[in-house]
C-alpha cells in the first residue's frame, strides 16, 4: 500500500515535469513568447529556457525510471511527453498568459528590449 | 538546383495526394479503430458498468479443486453451438459431450468475474481436430455461474469493434482494419513530409484564427504530439495480426505440414499433441499451481496466475499448463510451467524467449496493455483520442476546403463527405452512448438482450447518418451543416441520460461510487459527464458561429433582393 502511493507521487511528479518542461521549451520559441509576453524573449533568456526545458524532461525520465523498470518507464515517459506537449498547446491556445508564471524572472522589460 | 527543387515539389504533391485521398477513404475505418481502441483500454470497467451484478472487486484465479473443477464439470456446449457444428459432422450429434479436449480459465488484474472455456471432441467430425466449445462465466469467490448471455459491452463489443468492426463474415473486418493500419503508416509518413515546420509548430493551435487555419492546426498538433503513439500502435496492431494477414497459408495451403509441425513441436517439448486413448486420473491441480508460483518466485518474478489450461482432460497424455499474469511488465510473457496431469510431475518450464521473440513479446504487450499501470492506461486513452481528433479534423479540413468551391460549381460532393463526417464523428459518439442507454433501459430478463443492445448501437448510428444527410442542404451553399450542432445536443442528452439511468436502475450514483472508491463505475460516469460538457461547449460554439454567419448573410441577401 505504502509502495503504491510512493509510485503515484513519483509518477505525478514525472507528469508535472513533462508539462513544465514542454512549456519552457515552448516559451523559448518566438511565436509563443509573443503570445505570453507580447514579444519574443531575448536570446539569452531563450537559451536558458531551452536548457531548463531539457533538464525538466530529463528529470521526468529519471522520475519514471525511479517508479518503474526501464521498459515500462520508457513508455510512460514517451506518453507523458505527448501529454505535456498537448497540455502546453492547449494552455497557449486558451490561457497563454498563465504560462508567464512558469518564468517569473522574465518581465515585460526583458522582452521590450528586443523590440 | 532547379531540377532538384522540382523533384521535391512533385514528391511533396504526390505525398499530399496520397495523404488526402487515402486518409479520406480509410479515415472512416481508422477513426473507429482509434476511438473504440481508446474505449477498449477500459473494456473491463465498461463491462462492470453494463452488468451491475459484476460490480465487485477484481479477484485472483480461484482454487481449482474448490471452485474451478465443479464449474468445468457443469459446462456443455449450447444448443446454438451444436446446431452450428452439425453440418461438419458425419452422423448424429450426441446429447452429451464426454471427451474434454481442454478446459481453461483466464483472468486479468481488472476482472471481477472469471471466464471459462471448454473444448470437447466431436465423434464423427469431418475434421477430427475440430472441437466444439462452451463458454462460461463464474463469480470466482464462490463459483456461482453468472449468466453469459449478457453482453459484455466493453470486452465483447467495443473491443472487437476496434480491430474487426465486428464484421465477422470471412474475417472481412480484420482485413479492412489491417489494410487501413498499413495505409495509416503511409499517411503518417506522408503527413510528416507535408508538414515541414514540424518542431517549430509543435505547440501551435490558434482557435481564434477561425476557418481552415485552426482546423489544420489541430490536425497537425494531434498528429505530431502523439506521433510515436500513432506509429507504434498502427505497427504493433499489424504485428499482432501478422499471422492472419501475412502468413495465413499455414492453415490453408500447407495444412498437412502445419499439423506435422505441431506434432513434432509437441514431441520436442514433451507436451503431447494427441490423446493416448488411455484413461487416467488427475493429480491435485492446486499443488501444481503452488509449485509454479514457487518456481516463478525463485526466478524473482512472483505473481498471480493469469491463464490455467488442462489439456486432454482424463487421458494419460493429459497435462496442466500454468501461465503467469505478467502485470508487472510491458512484454506479454506467459512463463508457462507444465505438469503431467496424472502425477503432477514437472514436464517443462518455458525458457526465456530468443531476442526476436522478446521483441515480439514486447511489441504485443505494448499494444495489448495487460500490465498494471493506471497512469499509462490513461495516457493510452489520451493517445487514442488524439488520434481520433486528428482524423476528425482531417475530414473537417477536407470538407471546409472544398465546400465553397463546390458551392460555386453547383456540385454535391462536399455535401456527401460532410454528412459522412458528421456520422463518423458525432454519430459514432452518439451510437456509443446509445448502446449504454439501451443497456440500462432494456428489461433484465429480455431474451437475446445483447442483440437488442447491438441494434440500439447500429440504430442510433443509422439515425445519425439519416439526420446528417437530411440536414446537409446548406453545405451545397457553402454553409455549415446544422447536424453538427444538433448531434452535439443529442450527445449531451444521451450522456446525461446514461449517468442518470445508471443511478436510477442500480442506485450507484457518483456520490456513492466516489465515496466508496469504486472507480470503475465512477470513472465511466465521470467520463460520460465530461463528454456531455465537451459536446455542450462545442454545440454552443457552433450555434454562435452559425448565428454570426447568418447575421452577415442576411443583410447581403436583402441587398441582393433590393
Beta bridge partners of B100: B120
Q: Would you state the pLDDT for residue B1?
A: 42
Asked if A89 has any chain B CB less than 8 Å from its own CB, the reply is yes
CA of A101 vs chain B CAs: smallest distance (Å): 18
Residue pointed to by grid coordinates 474448490: B66
Write the DSSP assignment of B189-216 as a string of letters: HHHHHH---TTTTTT---GGG-HHHHHH
- Give, in degrees to the nearest 5, the angle at Cα B233 between B309 and B163: 60
Strand, helix or coil at A71? helix
| DSSP assignment letter at B125 | B
C-alpha B559/C-alpha B562 separation (Å) is 5
The CA-atom distances, in angstroms, between B401 and each of B13, B314, B394, B484 are 17, 68, 11, 17
Distance CA B500, CA B363 (A): 40
> What is the per-residue pLDDT for B222?
94
Q: Which residues make Cβ contacts (< 8 Å) with residue B349, sequence separation at least 6?
A: B295, B336, B337, B338
Q: Which three three-digit cell numbers place residue B31?
A: 477513426
Give the separation between CA B224 and CA B203, rounded to whole angstroms. Answer: 9
CA distance B449 to A96: 50
Q: Is B39 helix (H, G, I), strand (E, B) or coil?
A: helix
> Alpha helices, DSSP H only, in B227-354?
227-240, 242-245, 255-269, 285-298
Query: Helix, strand, coil proportions of chain B in percent (round to 5)?
Result: 65, 10, 30
d(CA B449, CA B462) in angstroms, rounded, equals 20
A86–B382 CB contact, under 8 Å: yes
Report the candidate in A53, A62, A64, A44 with the shortest Cα–Cα distance to residue A88.
A53
The pLDDT assigned to B6 comes to 60
Quick check: B525 and B506 in contact, CB under 8 A? no
Residues 6 or more apart whose Cβ sits within 8 Å of residue B208 = B214
3-class state of residue B128 by DSSP: coil
For residue B307, what are the β-bridge partners? B106, B323
In whole angstroms, what is the distance from residue B383 CA to residue B40 CA? Answer: 13
All cell numbers assigned to A83:
501529454
Q: What is the mean pLDDT of residues A85-103?
A: 93
How far apart CA B254 and CA B489 sit, in angstroms, is 55
- Say yes or no: A54 contacts chain B, CB-CB below 8 A: no
Mean pLDDT to the nearest integer, A39-53: 94
Concatenate the DSSP letters of all residues of B345-410 into one string.
-EEEEPPPPPHHHHHHHHHHHHHH--S--HHHHHHHHHHHHHHHHHHHHHHHHHHHHHHHHHHHHT
CB atoms closer than 10 angstroms to residue A26:
27
The stretches of B410-518 forming alpha helices (DSSP H) are 413-422, 428-441, 449-470, 473-476, 483-506, 510-515
DSSP secondary structure letter of residue B154: I
Confirm or reject contact between A32 and chain B (CB < 8 A).
yes
Global pTM reads 0.90
Q: A92–B203: do the CB atoms touch at under 8 Å? A: yes
Cβ–Cβ contact A105 with B under 8 A: no
Mean pLDDT, rounded, of chain A: 90
* Chain B residue numbers touching A7 (CB-CB < 8 A): none
DSSP reduced 3-state for B110: coil
pLDDT above 50 for A1: no
Q: What is the CA radius of gyration of chain B?
A: 27
The conformational region for residue B165 under phi > 0 = left, psi -120 to 50 = alpha, else beta, is left
Chain length of chain B: 562
| Nearest Cβ partner for A89 among B203, B371, B380 | B203
Task: Give B 220-279 residues with CB within 8 A of chain A.
Answer: 221-222, 225-226, 228-229
Measure in Å the smallest separation between the Cα of A11 and chain B Cα atoms: 8
Helix segments in chain A, DSSP class H: 2-27, 30-37, 43-67, 70-94, 108-112
Nearest CA in chain B to A24: B203
**Chain B interface includes A75 (CB < 8 A):** yes
pLDDT in tens, B245-285: 666 555 666 677 777 777 787 777 788 888 999 999 999 99
Q: Which residues of chain B have pLDDT under 70?
A: 1-7, 243-254, 553-562
pLDDT of residue A114: 46
Amino acid at each position: 500500500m505504502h509502495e503504491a502511493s510512493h509510485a503515484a507521487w513519483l509518477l505525478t511528479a514525472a507528469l508535472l515535469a513533462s508539462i513544465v518542461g514542454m512549456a519552457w521549451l515552448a516559451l523559448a520559441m518566438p511565436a509563443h513568447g509573443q503570445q505570453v509576453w507580447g514579444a519574443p524573449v531575448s536570446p539569452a533568456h531563450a537559451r536558458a529556457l531551452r536548457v531548463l526545458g531539457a533538464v525538466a524532461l530529463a528529470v521526468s525520465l529519471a522520475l519514471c525510471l525511479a517508479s518503474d523498470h526501464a521498459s515500462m518507464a520508457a513508455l510512460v515517459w514517451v506518453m507523458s511527453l505527448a501529454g505535456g506537449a498537448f497540455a502546453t498547446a492547449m494552455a497557449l491556445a486558451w490561457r497563454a498568459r498563465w504560462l508567464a508564471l512558469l518564468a517569473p524572472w522574465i518581465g515585460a522589460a526583458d522582452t521590450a528590449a528586443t523590440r | 538546383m532547379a531540377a532538384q527543387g522540382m523533384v521535391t515539389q512533385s514528391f511533396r504533391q504526390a505525398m499530399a495526394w496520397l495523404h488526402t485521398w487515402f486518409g479520406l477513404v480509410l479515415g472512416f475505418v481508422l477513426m473507429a479503430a482509434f476511438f473504440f481502441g481508446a474505449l477498449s483500454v477500459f473494456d473491463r470497467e465498461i463491462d462492470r458498468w453494463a452488468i451491475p451484478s459484476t460490480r465487485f472487486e477484481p479477484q485472483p484465479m480461484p482454487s481449482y479443486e474448490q471452485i474451478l473443477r465443479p464449474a468445468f464439470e457443469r459446462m456443455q456446449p449450447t444448443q446454438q453451438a451444436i446446431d452450428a457444428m452439425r453440418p461438419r459432422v458425419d452422423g448424429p450429434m450426441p446429447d452429451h459431450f464426454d471427451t474434454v479436449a481442454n478446459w481453461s480459465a483466464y483472468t486479468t488484474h481488472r476482472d471481477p468475474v472469471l471466464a471459462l472455456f471448454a473444448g470437447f471432441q466431436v465423434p464423427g467430425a469431418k475434421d477430427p481436430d475440430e472441437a466444439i466449445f462452451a463458454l462460461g462465466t463464474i463469480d470466482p469467490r464462490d463459483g456461482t455461474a453468472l449468466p453469459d448471455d449478457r453482453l459484455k459491452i466493453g470486452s465483447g463489443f467495443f473491443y472487437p469493434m476496434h480491430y474487426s468492426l465486428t464484421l465477422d463474415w470471412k474475417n472481412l473486418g480484420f482485413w479492412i482494419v489491417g489494410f487501413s493500419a498499413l495505409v495509416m503508416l503511409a499517411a503518417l509518413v506522408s503527413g510528416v513530409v507535408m508538414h515541414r515546420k514540424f518542431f517549430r509548430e509543435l505547440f501551435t493551435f490558434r482557435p481564434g484564427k477561425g476557418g481552415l487555419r485552426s482546423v489544420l492546426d489541430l490536425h497537425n498538433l494531434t498528429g505530431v504530439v502523439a506521433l510515436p503513439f500513432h506509429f507504434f500502435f498502427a505497427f504493433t496492431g499489424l504485428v499482432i495480426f501478422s499471422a492472419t494477414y501475412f502468413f495465413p497459408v499455414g492453415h490453408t495451403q500447407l495444412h498437412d505440414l502445419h499439423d506435422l509441425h505441431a506434432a513434432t513441436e509437441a514431441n520436442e517439448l514433451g507436451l503431447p499433441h494427441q490423446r493416448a486413448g488411455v484413461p487416467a486420473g488427475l493429480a491435485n491441480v492446486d499443488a501444481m499451481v503452488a509449485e509454479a508460483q514457487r518456481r516463478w518466485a525463485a526466478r524473482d518474478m512472483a505473481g498471480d496466475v493469469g491463464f490455467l489450461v488442462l489439456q486432454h482432460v482424463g487421458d494419460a497424455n493429459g497435462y496442466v499448463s500454468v501461465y503467469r499474469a505478467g502485470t508487472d511488465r510491458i512484454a506479454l510473457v506467459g512463463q508457462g510451467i507444465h505438469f503431467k496431469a496424472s502425477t503432477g510431475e514437472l514436464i517443462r518450464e518455458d525458457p526465456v524467449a530468443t531476442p526476436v521473440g522478446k521483441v515480439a513479446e514486447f511489441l504485443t504487450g505494448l499494444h495489448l496493455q495487460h500490465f498494471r499501470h493506471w497512469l499509462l492506461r490513461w495516457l493510452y486513452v489520451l493517445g487514442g483520442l488524439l488520434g481520433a481528433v486528428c482524423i476528425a479534423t482531417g475530414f473537417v479540413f477536407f470538407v471546409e476546403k472544398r465546400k465553397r468551391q463546390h458551392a460555386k460549381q453547383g456540385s454535391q460532393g462536399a455535401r456527401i463527405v460532410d454528412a459522412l463526417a458528421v456520422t463518423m464523428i458525432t454519430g459514432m459518439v452518439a451510437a456509443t452512448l446509445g448502446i449504454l442507454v439501451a443497456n440500462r433501459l432494456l428489461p433484465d430478463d429480455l431474451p437475446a438482450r445483447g442483440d437488442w443492445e447491438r441494434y440500439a448501437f447500429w440504430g442510433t448510428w443509422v439515425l445519425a447518418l439519416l439526420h446528417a444527410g437530411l440536414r446537409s442542404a446548406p453545405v451545397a451553399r457553402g454553409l455549415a451543416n446544422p447536424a453538427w450542432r444538433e448531434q452535439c445536443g443529442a450527445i449531451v442528452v444521451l450522456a446525461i441520460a446514461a449517468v442518470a439511468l445508471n443511478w436510477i436502475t442500480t442506485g450507484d450514483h457518483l456520490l456513492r461510487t466516489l465515496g466508496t472508491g469504486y472507480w470503475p463505475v465512477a470513472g465511466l460516469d465521470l467520463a460520460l459527464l465530461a463528454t456531455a460538457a465537451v459536446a455542450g461547449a462545442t454545440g454552443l460554439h457552433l450555434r454562435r458561429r452559425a448565428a454570426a454567419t447568418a447575421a452577415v448573410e442576411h443583410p447581403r441577401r436583402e441587398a441582393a433582393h433590393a
